[in-house]
Amino acid sequence: MGPGMRNSRFRFDPAPHLRELGAIITEIQASEALDAGALDRILRRHPKDGRGLFARTEIVAATLHLARAGALPGDAESLVEKLRTCPTRTQSGVVPVTVLTRPHPCPGRCVFCPSDARMPKSYLAAEPGAQRATAHRFDPYAQTWSRLDAYRRMGHRCDKAELIVLGGTWSHYPEAYRVWFVTRALQALSDFGEGRDGRGSIEEEPDDFSSLPAVARGSYDRTVARYLRERRAVREAASFEDLMGAQRRNEAARVRCVGLSLETRPDALDEAEVVRLRRLGATKIQVGIQSLHDAVLLANRRGHDVAATRDALRHLRAAGMKIQAHWMPNLLGATPESDLDDFARLFADRDFRPDELKLYPTSLVESAELVEHHRTGAWRPYDDAELLRVVTECMRRTPRWCRLSRVVRDIPSPDIVVGNKRTNFREIAEADLRSRGVPLVEIRAREIGRGAWDPARVALRETEYATSVGRERFLEMLTPEDRLLAFLRLSLPAHASFVAELGTSAVIRELHVYGGVAGIGERVPGAPQHRGLGRALVSAARERAAAARHATLAVISAVGTREYWRRLGFRDGDLYQHLPSS
């Protein structure tokens, strides 16, 4: 086991400090409002070892320790709620668990792409997620278990986890590796829910890629392929039977996978690959479309054209997948004007219209071939005014049924050669829009989060739009102020899907209820989850499917949501669950 993996299993033992921690907990329970200043004063009155201050995570650990021993006066959950750090991480209703695949040769030759051989293609070692992956040598079980443990120590509920697998082109990895990776991540979710830490039982130590070059411009594939050929044999394979066993176990686990997101390229997404992704349990696919101008794609050596993107998104939509597109302004050959034209096409053309979007302005890093184009003057980063104009216009034009998941990639500033180095550029853009009185209607800007709402004043709103496979209905549960409580995506296809099991079924592509993560089956006062909003949306979807003459309604359920859909009357198919629409 590598040193990073050993260190990640360090645990704070509250037992030697229970006198001080007990006094801190008593004061926190008695406080009606706990801001940073009030907590700091409490901690200073009860120092750790007579000199230092306890961390919030250590107080959470003591709270859970006392609760398990039956020695905690009052409710553990309300106390942890006061102490929770980074509350926005889970306010969308799920715990996002991001894990990275190991380095692997990539079919792309993109000039803007980082080429750090220590990382999967397009990632940098200093990025937060990449640092966590490196500490666990890209082992999927250790990454997943440790990330859940970090959330728990910060006071978050972990019952509902969205597993987000990043790293290069997923579809280009060996199939046995892909099956193994998902299987092991699911096993970690289930084990964590049972209180079992299986990291110490990992039989073989994963490979350490840290000796490879940080700048492998033009030689990334050769360098990584040579290392993979020469390394000792490490078992990175599992069968589909192993995967199915891990899926069945997770269906009823205490920590369930309520969404699986995988990342790939448009030219890798034919019909057969989409079925393989679904068999792994995928519900959302991240697709790097980057641009909708063929000339820009060619200049950046992307390796595919816009027609490939059209085909890929059509295949995904016909299979009921949620689509998260990556789009990049300021590519080689683009201008602010061409970018705004490109963005308009993204939502005006029915062949695209993604459900989620990551807006990634091009950043110049030393390991990318774009460095040479910058040196010759063929490419330059947009100045602050140009970048702000492009980003704010894109944010303003994003429709209410799309979620802007990310604006500007979280690349550490030391890695950026020239151009914008501010990772909070989204906040800057939002402040600019507010100052001009320009509202945002995209999903993330309207999520209820932890805001108050009145169950008696909830309204259903419906938005319909055309797609490459038929019609889409976006159903929302809203407050009078247009704050989003829950939504459902319903696809009404015009023709039979290439996935035989779907046929001409209407498909629920996503059901999402917002608010902090509620325990499975638990109703939290004031939180939207488990208050019937999801059932109401499903009932509305069923009515609309019947009215559109679809005999059946299917749902692309995640492994951990299958039980929920069964309770609503859906029956298991091979890859989907089904219900008569009337």
Cα 30 to chain centroid distance, Å, stands at: 37
Torsion of CA 137, 140, 144, 150, to 10 degrees: 0
Of 90 and 492, more confident: 492
Q: Is 70 left (phi over 0), alpha (psi -120 to 50) or beta?
A: left
* Rounded Cα–Cα distance for residues 113 and 416 (Å): 12
84 pLDDT exceeds 70? no
Count Cβ neighbours within 10 Å for each residue of 329-344 and write b for 16 or more, e otherwise.
bbbbbbebebbbebbe
Burial class (CB in 10 A: 0-12, 13-18, 19+), 434: exposed
For residue 418, count other CB atoms closer than 10 A to its CB. 11
What Rg value do the Cα atoms of the chain yield, rounded? 24
* Rounded Cα–Cα distance for residues 82 and 438 (Å): 34
* Rounded Cα–Cα distance for residues 317 and 507 (Å): 10
- Closest-CA residue to 555 (of 468, 484, 490): 490
- The encoded tokens of residue 404 equal 């802007």
Tell me what pLDDT residue 45 has. Answer: 87
Q: Is 556 left (phi over 0), alpha (psi -120 to 50) or beta?
A: beta
Looking at the DSSP assignment, which residues form a beta bridge with residue 28?
A: none
Count Cβ neighbours within 10 Å for each residue of 43-63 and write b for 16 or more, e otherwise.
beebeeeeeeebebbbbbbbb
* Residue 76, phi then psi, degrees to nearest 5: -65, -40
Determine the average pLDDT of the residues in 176-201. 94
- From residue 559, alpha-carbon distances to 97, 183, 261, 309, 322 in Å are 15, 12, 12, 28, 15
- Closest-CA residue to 214 (of 326, 111, 127, 140): 127
**Residue that has been written with the tokens 């890629």 in this structure:** 209
Of 143 and 5, more confident: 143
**How much is the pTM?**
0.86
* Rounded Cα–Cα distance for residues 349 and 14 (Å): 58
Cβ contact 107:303 at 8 Å: yes
Question: How big, in percent rounded to 5, are the helix, strand and coil portions of the chain?
Answer: 40, 15, 45
pLDDT digits (tens, 9 = 90+) for 321-371: 999 999 999 999 999 999 999 999 999 999 999 999 999 999 999 999 999
pLDDT digits (tens, 9 = 90+) for 395-432: 999 999 999 999 999 888 889 999 999 889 999 999 99
560 pLDDT exceeds 90? yes
* Residue 79, phi then psi, degrees to nearest 5: -70, -45
pLDDT digits (tens, 9 = 90+) for 472-489: 999 999 999 999 999 999
490 pLDDT exceeds 90? yes
Tell me what pLDDT residue 2 has. Answer: 42
Cβ contact 529:571 at 8 Å: no
Strand order in the sheet with 577-580: 459-467, 470-478, 484-493, 506-513, 552-555, 577-580, 571-572
- The encoded tokens of residue 414 equal 């030391």
Of 467 and 234, more confident: 467
